[in-house]
Structure 1
């Protein structure tokens, strides 16, 4: 059983989930699947009877997609300090059916390029995953300490 339920609400309105070299739908699905899987990995550290539900209302990936100057070439995602990752969501942490913690979160990682990454350097979502890891560890430190 999954410890996390992630709802990607109205993704067409997200700030930046643009692909650089694949279909918009395929890219979006790959991003959602990868981030949902990662959140599930993080949630494995929660106590056995706790589950987490997130409703994501905005996502802005690190970097910005720029068109290439050559005809027919794929666009590229330029990663620079100006284009930091952000994510807005609400969450509920439950013990059984009882909500024990909830919040509205506006997460941003402005110093993302100055931090040592725990994710693989070839992971296209490493900055977003690092941001989520820092948030998760800080937000649930009391719960994690009990486990």
Structure 2
């Protein structure tokens, strides 16, 4: 009986710690972001939702068992939105001045104890060079690569806490 009770208590304790780990992503005043305009038939909310999901996915993989809260305070997508003659807008990628940028604040905690807090400005001025594992058809491929690189640099093995 004692063994069964101990197993149940241990299972609950472990599952509670695992379940509590989460990645929360919020946007602070997104209507004031530098550039999150829709183009190519996409809405601003579609971009924000895709960025949110990507931060959550990478955060859960990079920091398993830890809670991560991210507040995104500014977004500037790669390229610039320009009008076309037919009345639709298109995002044009030209040079490094058009590189993606995301400003954010974050807090990492575990079991309610804050481990780390910080602010970062993610930038990728060389966004059109090098290998990108995301499809050419992904409208956020440059931003996703930048986010992946930030997680590696900020929370990789050399910076583990």
TM superposition score category, shorter chain reference: 0.7 to 0.9
Aligned alpha-carbon RMSD (Å): 2.1
Change (3 A) 1:145 1:54: closer
- Is 1:37 the counterpart of 2:56 in the alignment? no
CA drift of 1:124 comes to 0.3
Deviations 1:42-65 (A, max 9, x none): 123245430111001100000001
Q: Contact between 2:81 and 2:92, CA under 8 Å: does it hold in 1?
A: yes
Which structure shows the higher helix fraction? Answer: 2
Matched, 1:13 2:32: yes
Between the two proteins, the alignment pairs up a number of residues equal to 141
TM-score of the superposition, structure 1-length normalised? Answer: 0.86
Could you tell me whether the CA contact under 8 Å between 2:25 and 2:56 is conserved in 1?
no
Q: Mark the runs of 5 or more structure 1 residues left unpaired by the alignment.
A: none
Output one character per residue of 1:64-105: Cα deviation in whole Å (capped at 9) or x when no partner: 01111x2x4311110122311000010011112111111111
| Structure number, greater radius of gyration | 2
Task: Check 1:40–1:5 CA distance in 2 against 1; reply closer, same or farther (3 A cut).
Answer: same
* Uncovered stretches (5+) of structure 2, i.e. residues with no partner: 1-18
